[in-house]
Homo-oligomer: A and B are copies of this chain.
Amino acid sequence: MSQKEISPSEDEDLRKLGERIKALRVKAGYANYEKFANAHDLARAQYGRYEAGENLQYKSLLKVMKALNVTPKEFFSEGFD
């Protein structure tokens, strides 16, 4: 499955959020976002949009953080000063 290109958000805050999600996903050992989403019971297309910087609800962000195995404190500890 190729990594389908989803156009990144023009919104700086959301782009930064998506990049952090992606960086932590890669750090967790998943080169492919679809495999990560499948492995963690997250809807693939929706998860892909989160990495591309779609605005999402706090509870959805918490679900992504749990899948990435980081706390909100750890998630926002880099790049959100």
Contact = CB atoms under 8 A, between A and B. Distances in A.
A64 B73 CA distance: 17
A81 interface: yes
Interface in A52-81: 55-59, 61-62, 71-73, 75-77, 80-81
Contact of A81 (B55, B73, B80): B73
Contacts of A72: 76, 80
Contacts of A14: 58-59
| Copies of this chain | 2
B62 A71 contact: no
A66 to B, nearest CB: 10
A73 to B, nearest CB: 5
Nearest to A79: B73
Contacts of A56: 57-58
